[in-house]
Amino acid sequence: MKIVVTGAKGQLGQDVVKLLGPKHEIYGLSRDQLDITNEADCLQVITDINPDVIIHSAAYTAVDLAETNEDIAFRINGDGTKYLTLAAERVGAKFVYISTDYVFDGTATRSYKEDDVTNPQSVYGKSKQAGEIHVQAISSKHFIVRTSWVYGVHGQNFVKTMLHLAKTRDSLKVVNDQLGSPTYTVDLVTFLEQLIQTEHYGVYHASNSGVCTWYDFACAIFEESGVTIHVEPCTTEEFPRPARRPRNSSMEHGAILANGFEDLRVWREGLRAFLKEYQG
């Protein structure tokens, strides 16, 4: 299978290229090789490669900076996704759009389903929603994959930050009133590989199974790493950020189960696998 991966130097993109590379014909494209905000460039590059699948993991992901860089966020996450989708449709490629839990407002008292109404509260969330809308409007063969709390061996993420802070501090405060599901990049890629070999198009929620708070996650990181540090729970209000975070971004995996895919493993098992890879 011939697969184009955008954002090939990003946290997720690097693992997509690494894990799918031995089995498929992979074209990992960074921003130097493909300017997704240039419609002509998208059409030229995608037409030349003529892939079977495009996994679009390139994105503007600086959640807080997006609040003051709205034009850039929408140009990359909205327009860029539109141009890539148009190019994919031109060559008849399946299109995988990596989206986010931030398309929800986080006020639900249960886990979000794939067909729940989106209501993003941040610029980042709104720009990713714009991408979803373009994909649904243009692509006849699309998978929208919403994920959450992503971490892996590449790039910066919460797990690496916690491990780094533990080297210089005796105690930490971590938010304990935001619910979600951590997602290990390797487990997400394993699911994506299953997905692209089918025609079960639509919206999917794909995160490691189970729900926790950031405080729970931090405690698990230290326990699994054998690190001794005092972790104190705090509220969102005690740790203000420019962009609003969803208080509850847990997501049901209804589409995964309904279409016969193997669900992603429990988040703590994914964490153990990551730490073995990262620290080993």
pLDDT in tens, the chain (280 residues): 999 999 999 999 999 999 999 999 999 999 999 999 999 999 999 999 999 999 999 999 999 999 999 999 999 999 999 999 999 999 999 999 999 999 999 999 999 999 999 999 999 999 999 999 999 999 999 999 999 999 999 999 999 999 999 999 999 999 999 999 999 999 999 999 999 999 999 999 999 999 999 999 999 999 999 999 999 999 999 988 999 999 999 999 999 999 999 999 999 999 999 999 998 6
Question: Cα separation of 157 and 155, whole Å?
Answer: 7
Question: Cα separation of 118 and 221, whole Å?
Answer: 31
pLDDT at 279: 84
Question: Cα separation of 162 and 144, whole Å?
Answer: 30
Q: 243 lies in a domain?
A: no
3-state secondary structure 202-233: EEEECCCECCEEHHHHHHHHHHHHCCCCEEEE
pLDDT at 131: 98
Q: 244 lies in a domain?
A: no
**CB contact set of 83 (below 8 Å; sequence gap of 6+):** 36, 37, 38, 39, 42, 43
CATH of the domain at 148: 3.40.50.720
Where in the sequence is the domain holding 50, given as residue range(s)? 2-155+181-208+249-264
Residue 237 DSSP class:
G
Q: 238 lies in a domain?
A: no
Residue 16 DSSP class:
H
Question: Cα separation of 151 and 65, whole Å?
Answer: 19
Q: 272 lies in a domain?
A: no
Count the Cβ atoms, other than its own, within 10 Å of residue 248. Answer: 20
Active-site residue list: 124
Q: 234 lies in a domain?
A: no
Domain count, the chain: 1
pLDDT at 90: 98
Q: 98 lies in a domain?
A: yes
199: left (phi over 0), alpha (psi -120 to 50) or beta: alpha
pLDDT at 280: 63
Q: 225 lies in a domain?
A: no
Q: 46 lies in a domain?
A: yes
138: left (phi over 0), alpha (psi -120 to 50) or beta: alpha
Where does 65-112 have alpha helices with state H? Answer: 70-74, 81-91
Question: Cα separation of 131 and 242, whole Å?
Answer: 22
